[in-house]
Copies of this chain bind each other. A is one copy, B any other.
Amino acid sequence: MSPVDRPVLPLVGAPRAERADAVRNRRQLLATAREMLAEQGVDKLTMDALAERACLGKGTVYRRFGTRAGIFVALIEDDEQIFQERLLSGPPPLGPGAPPLDRLIAYGQARVAFMIEHREIVRAAIDGRQAVPAGTEMSLSRMHIRMLLRQIPLGAADLDILAIQLSAALEGPFLLYLSATDIADDALHTQERAARGWHDLIQRTCRP
């Protein structure tokens, strides 16, 4: 077991490390969920079916993920790690090095692409009770935007609110597209238009 998986010194305040069998089961469930998703689509991924196919009890699924939406959130978080690494240490303008305004614009465009690519899973994650608005990914988006905003001279502005507004404005067109479209022919078109819209909005908002 690598040091990455289990730090020698656990973070203070962290609830408690997961037991080895719990980690194994989580991985097993996530992998099985991906299989089922690829083979049969979102609807057929029921809690019973997942448990049975993973040769585990239903109770275990709930212990690991809390709710059905929790599974999808976990899947997205998994994929998001790569995305986050690009933010933190990838090449500019997404990664550090470019001027903050350029990074902000690049961020939105990358984010739109990411969401559209993972639209099926995101859609499923939304269906559960307030899973997404309070969820990890959205607040990550907000935190990143706020971090960049801080580096841009904006006069006296409530950066927390502005970050919330901008991240909502970023997701908004995407959510609309999700709920309006069942077949995804125009995914590319939507993506381009949303990306351009984001670019314009940031220009408007952040000019001196």
Contacts and interface: CB of A to CB of B under 8 A. Distances in A.
Contacts of A178: 130, 133
Given A197-B158, A201-B205, A205-B201, A169 B176 contact: no
Nearest to A168: B172
Interface in A141-170: 157-158, 161-162, 164-169
B134 A179 contact: yes
Nearest to A139: B176
A126, A162, A204 interface centre (most CB from chain B within 10 Å): A204
Nearest to A156: B200
Given A168-B168, A169-B172, A175-B133, A162 B127 contact: no
A205 B196 CA distance: 15
Contact of A193 (B161, B166, B196, B205): B161
A102 interface: no
Given A133-B178, A204-B204, A164 B173 contact: yes
A173 B180 contact: no
A201 B154 CA distance: 12
B127 A129 contact: yes
Contact of A172 (B164, B180, B204): B164
A77 interface: no
Given A129-B127, A179-B133, A205-B201, A167 B172 contact: yes
Nearest to A173: B164
